[in-house]
Amino acid sequence: MLLAAALCGPLAGQLRAQDAPAPATAAPLGNPSKTPVSILPEPDPNAPQEPAPDTSIAVGELAAPGIDRLGLVSTARGGFAPNLWAGTDPGVLKQILPLFPARVSSVAQRRMAQNLLLSPGAPPSGEPVAPEPMPTAPDADAASDASPPPEAPKFSGETLDAATLLHARVQNLIAMGDWADAVALIELVPVDQVTDSLRRIRADAELASDHLSAACAEAQAALQASSDVYWQELQVFCQLATGQSGAAALGLDLLREQKHDSPAFFWAVDLLQGGRKPAPAAVMSLSPLTYAMLQKAAVTLPPALAKAADPITMSMVARIPTTDEGAAGDKPITDPARRDRRRKAVEARIVLAEQAVAVGSLDPEVLRGLYRGLDLKQETDLPLLTKVAPEDIRGRALLFQSALTQTVPIARAEVITRAVELARLDGGEKGPNLTVVGRTYAAMLGEMEATGEMVWFAGTAARALLAAGETQKAKAWLDLVHSMSLNNQEANAVADGLWPIERLLSPAPGPMPAGAVRSWAVTVPEVMREAHRETLLNLFIAVGDEVSPGDFPQALAAGSADQGGSSARPAVMNGLTLAARGKRVGEVAALSLIALGEEGPAGVSTGTLQKVLESLMAVGRDADARALAVETALIHGL
């Protein structure tokens, strides 16, 4: 493993050189205060000297980088060290990689998954790493000194090669709907090592991203070396899309001669050729190829196909109108019943888009477009902005449209505040949670200036941006609060309310400031105070903060917070314990993702979340643990 680490280490910086900090300039000679202090032992003058190195220049070709050294994220940007799988049993890694959740509705969890999958690293060697012997006291007796060192754990004997690990990394990215990163990772693979499976994933990604010409070029190259019928289907589509009807007809005849059974493909071909046959009953989901063909045919989607569960299908379906909505350019609907069906169809697609944004597989701009496109002019029963309910889809669109039309920053801030508070109070139970709302309004918030007259809005803006993963943009609002809190009572109240979030976000040395918990509690409605207090106690302890029992007396005595949520299986919890003890960083991160599952940090039980956070802290992934803790606090309304 030392060899793998030595090989992988330099490459992590080479792949993303722009991520690395600028090299330090040399200190001026003769200035002791600027001279770095070495932590290495002084060399032994009596030790035998190594022969002088050969300084002649060797001429030859550089070998292509190994697949195990391919990655897109450096450690400076939150990535993992190249030896992330050191000490992990290959058999265990084979079991846990397919268990990664696909519908990751947590920004922090998704980012950790991406960093894990995009970091360069060699697969585990298959050789256990022996635990370090326990240190003995200086006065220990000879019998103690003679005790045998602890034995290394027994491994399964299985192996895992770099190509298989790379393919699993790409597959997990695709399952999450992260086409862009999957393609970028495949692009790093040497041409002679790109498998047909990786080539097909790349073509699917281009189709799902509406890059037809790139997908067609991929098919043209693949047909020369592959017999996969997928490439024949894609070639037929490319020919139809470019007006080569004769060549497409030949390709279709060949597929029929081969008795190729693909109802979705032939249905989509009929649509491209001007037919309007209903979707076959066997077509229950959309592949990227079918999606691209429907997009090219400019047809609406059968309502039965608009029910999607996986992130890939959700993101594609959300971009295609359904039959009940009608196609662009249709005449205005005068029949009340048809108008009602259309409204319900649009609302259903909005909900689907919100879910796709939640799992990170859809650009929030698509959701913004749906909110903007919902025609509310003919609605006579719209609620007041202050009366919008969490489950009211039209109300959410109304809030967004109202915020968009405001030209006065304070007026816009008031509307956004209502949308954010709605999500905070609901916690994602009846409507989208704060991460979705934060992503939806992040563009507007990014355009707003953090000025003194807006300090009352700083807490709302900071929470929404942090929930959306926009930490740097949130910092401007946090800085505004700090700069004004000493002399402004309103800013001081906002600072008290934000104190727990900031404490979780950035480690602070020493115990909590005296009275900080009491000052924060004043800003919380009494009905929610004790539940929030216990949530904070759990999170602070999990990230290793110095908590005094006196700061949380009621929480320690009563245990008032809701302990619900799903719990990870005992095997996963035990795996986390063992991996954390062995400092197996990649294994801890992978098992943490599995333990959090699709519910995410705000949806799992308190015990599961604490175990995940403590395990991540134990192996040095403090930033991941704190990001998960902050997100949990925000979604729970803190």
How does DSSP assign 528-570, residue by residue? HHHHHHHHHHHHHHHTT----GGGSHHHHHH--S---SB---H
What is d(CA 438, CA 612) in angstroms, rounded to the nearest whole number?
Answer: 25
Q: Is the pLDDT of residue 21 over 50?
A: no
Q: Is the pLDDT of residue 476 over 90?
A: yes
In terms of pLDDT, which residue wins out, 369 or 337? 369
Q: Is residue 598 part of a domain?
A: no
Q: Is residue 497 part of a domain?
A: no
Confidence of residue 252 (pLDDT cuts 50, 70, 90): very high
Residue 316 DSSP code? H
Q: Is the pLDDT of residue 43 over 50?
A: no
Residues 498-544: pLDDT tens digits? 999 999 998 777 777 777 888 888 887 777 777 888 888 889 989 99
Contact 300, 320 (CB under 8 A): yes
Q: Is residue 186 part of a domain?
A: yes
In terms of pLDDT, which residue wins out, 27 or 331? 331
Q: Is residue 234 part of a domain?
A: yes
Question: Which two three-digit tokens encode residue 20?
Answer: 């690395």
pLDDT at 47: 47
Residues 148-191: pLDDT tens digits? 665 666 777 888 999 999 999 999 999 999 999 999 999 999 98
**How many structural domains is the chain composed of?**
1
288-297 and 212-222 helices, crossing angle to 10°: 130
Residues 426-454: pLDDT tens digits? 988 999 999 999 999 999 999 999 999 99
Question: Which two three-digit tokens encode residue 184?
Answer: 């970028």
Indicate the average pLDDT of the chain. Answer: 83
Q: Is the pLDDT of residue 79 over 90?
A: yes
Task: Please report, as a single letter, which amino acid is at residue 296.
Answer: K
Confidence of residue 38 (pLDDT cuts 50, 70, 90): very low
* Whole-structure pTM value: 0.81
Q: Is residue 223 part of a domain?
A: yes
Q: Left if phi > 0, otherwise alpha if psi is -120 to 50, otherwise beta: which for 101?
A: beta
pLDDT at 533: 82
Residues 219-241: pLDDT tens digits? 999 998 898 999 999 999 999 99
Lowest mean pLDDT among 52-66, 553-567, 574-588: 52-66
Confidence of residue 3 (pLDDT cuts 50, 70, 90): very low
pLDDT at 59: 45
Residue span of the structural domain in which 215 resides:
177-299
Average pLDDT, integer, range 83-106 = 94
C-alpha dist (Å) from residue 227 to 75, 192, 213, 231, 232: 41, 18, 21, 8, 9
Phi then psi for residue 462, to 5 deg, are -65, -45
Q: Is residue 295 part of a domain?
A: yes
Q: Is residue 438 part of a domain?
A: no
Q: Is the pLDDT of residue 53 over 80?
A: no
Q: Is residue 22 part of a domain?
A: no
Q: Is the pLDDT of residue 195 over 80?
A: yes
What is d(CA 115, CA 185) in angstroms, rounded to the nearest whole number?
Answer: 12
pLDDT at 516: 81
